[in-house]
Amino acid sequence: MLIKPTLKTISELSGLAITTVSRALSNAPDISISTKEKVKKIADEIGYIPDRAGVRLRTGRTNVISLIMSTDSEIMDMTGRLISSIALGLRGTPYHLNMTHHFPGDDPMKPIKYIVETGSADALIFNQVQPNDPRVHYLIEKKFPFTMHGRSCPNEKQSFVDYDNGEFAKIAIEKLVKKNRKHVLMITPPQNQSYGLEMVQSAKNTAEKHNISLIIAPIITSDSSITLISDTVSKQIINNKKIDGILVGTPKGAMAAVAGFEKLNLTIGQDIDIVAKDAVNFLKLFRNQIIVINENVEIAGKKLAEAAIHAAQNPDSEPIQYIDRPESDYTKFN
């Protein structure tokens, strides 16, 4: 029977005190980089796995960051890459990533309260952030470390990583204006989420500035089913033949919109132009004529990991806040 490696095993192999080994594995700032590398190398070689129960008993920490996500996330959008990027951001740290799901229609407070009440994580990451989000108020009240992918209450000190969706909408409208498009159909994000409100308001302001018509697609959002988006786009164009541009914030929504107008024998890049956000360089493979503005989800994931660790280790310090801004002359995918 193999004996499980312990801190004592690493201590004996390295010639370092057990407390030094423990602090090196915890990435303590007072331990030199060379010592940390030496300890981690030995730990990897002997297959050392921390005893989480023991860590929690000694330190009160779990070394777990919990990511809470809805099960309605689309795989062709950014969810998979975001998760892998957060995991990469935690690589080389003592923290591990746990996934906690909540189902559409369920109370989004339920998984938050469970983790806080059980102390099953050192910090939380969540998305689909709403204005004045009750999850934010609850976590602040409980003094539980967290960060979020999105922004909620602008007047409170909160940890967040976000994409400038207002700037995205502005650039998108301006790109359509350059294509001489005058009547733009917008498939909006859910309007109960902060990024959706930001995107719509910016699109309206920019359309008004350039004196073009902005039509908000009824019934649907960019999170609706592909079939519903496709059918709605077809109906909107049939009812308003002046529509010559489409703005949408997700790859799924863009693909569904293209299917909707191609059913009417309209040609992308000639009869109608579409601008969309993409995180995985996928849309250009689908239709090269789609005007793509990138969202760098890899940076977002790594920043979320950094912000979560910072919140867990430095609860009384200034929270990390990061906004990724698209460039007006962005040409990575174009």
> What confidence tens digit (pLDDT) does each residue in 58-99 have?
555 789 999 998 876 554 567 888 899 999 999 988 899 999
Position 221 pLDDT exceeds 50:
yes
What pLDDT, on a 0 to 100 scale, did the predictor assign at position 60? 57
Is-contact 76 251, C-beta < 8 A?
yes
Domain residue limits, the chain = 7-49, 64-163+297-324, 165-294
Measure the CA–CA gap between 49 and 313, rounded to whole angstroms: 21
What pLDDT, on a 0 to 100 scale, did the predictor assign at position 247? 99
Walk across the sheet containing 291-294 and list its strands. 213-216, 183-187, 245-248, 273-278, 291-294
Phi, psi of 190 (to 5 degrees): -55, 130
**All residues at 6 or more sequence positions from 57 whose CB lies less than 8 Å from its CB, including other chains:** none
Amino acid at 56: R
* Average of per-residue pLDDT across 227-251: 97
Q: What is the three-class DSSP state of 182?
A: coil
Measure the CA–CA gap between 185 and 248, rounded to whole angstroms: 9
Measure the CA–CA gap between 95 and 26, rounded to whole angstroms: 9
**All residues at 6 or more sequence positions from 79 whose CB lies less than 8 Å from its CB, including other chains:** 69, 73
Same fold, 64-163+297-324 and 165-294: yes
- The CATH H-level (homologous superfamily) assignment of domain 165-294 is Response regulator (3.40.50.2300)
* Average of per-residue pLDDT across 203-213: 98
The residue that leads in pLDDT, 218 or 48, is 218
* Average of per-residue pLDDT across 257-270: 98
What pLDDT, on a 0 to 100 scale, did the predictor assign at position 59? 54
Reading phi first (left if > 0) and then psi (alpha if -120 to 50, else beta), residue 105 is in left
Q: How confident is the model at residue 332 (pLDDT cuts 50, 70, 90)?
A: very low
Per-residue pLDDT reduced to its tens digit, 130-160 = 999 999 999 999 999 999 999 997 667 899 9
**All residues at 6 or more sequence positions from 165 whose CB lies less than 8 Å from its CB, including other chains:** 189, 195, 196, 198, 199, 202, 249
Q: How confident is the model at residue 6 (pLDDT cuts 50, 70, 90)?
A: confident
Per-residue pLDDT reduced to its tens digit, 28-57 = 888 898 998 898 889 888 888 776 555 554
Most confident listed range (145-159, 172-186, 279-293): 172-186
Q: How confident is the model at residue 22 (pLDDT cuts 50, 70, 90)?
A: confident
Measure the CA–CA gap between 122 and 294, rounded to whole angstroms: 32
Mean pLDDT across the chain = 89
Q: How far is CA 161 from the centre of its chain?
A: 8
Measure the CA–CA gap between 205 and 228, rounded to whole angstroms: 27
Q: How confident is the model at residue 224 (pLDDT cuts 50, 70, 90)?
A: very high
* Average of per-residue pLDDT across 255-259: 97
What pLDDT, on a 0 to 100 scale, did the predictor assign at position 329? 42
Measure the CA–CA gap between 261 and 268, rounded to whole angstroms: 8
Position 331 pLDDT exceeds 50:
no
Short-list 21, 59, 62, CA closest to 41: 21
Q: Which residues of 148-163 are buried (b: 16+ CB within 10 A; e: fewer)?
A: bbbbbbeeeebbbbbb
Amino acid at 186: M
CATH classification of 64-163+297-324 is 3.40.50.2300, yes or no? Answer: yes
